[in-house]
Amino acid sequence: MKEKLLNRIVLGLNISLVVALCVINFFYQRANFDDTLKTIGSSCFAIQGLINLFYAYKTRQTNMRFFIIMAIGLIFALAGDIAIEFNFVAG
């Protein structure tokens, strides 16, 4: 029973973050590519990666290495999106 509830919560969070990212992307393009909206959008997919890493840990997935590497990659992508505002080469 607990696992079904966890599945629904994680699925709901994933769907909510995908919808939020689509809406943010729409306004990001309408606002002439505002860096603040880009950072918020990047935060959405990084948070989604961390949520899925937590879910994989709680459900004891066999290939945890994949989930860890994916979450780290999404965090680096977020850091690159933030850094590109200040220095293109660093981003």
Summarised one tens digit per residue, pLDDT across range 40-85 is 999 999 999 999 999 999 999 999 999 999 999 999 999 998 988 8
Q: Which helix (H) or strand (E) holds 15?
A: helix 2-30
Is a pLDDT exceeding 80 seen at residue 1?
Answer: no
Q: Helices marked H in 31-63 — which ranges?
A: 35-58
Q: How confident is the model at residue 87 (pLDDT cuts 50, 70, 90)?
A: confident
Query: Which tokens is 5 given?
Result: 């509830």
The pTM is what?
Answer: 0.85
60 neighbors 67 (Cβ within 8 angstroms): no
Under 8 Å CB-to-CB from 35, ≥6 apart: which residues?
85
CA distance 89 to 18: 29
Is a pLDDT exceeding 70 seen at residue 12?
Answer: yes
CA distance 12 to 1: 17
Q: How confident is the model at residue 88 (pLDDT cuts 50, 70, 90)?
A: low
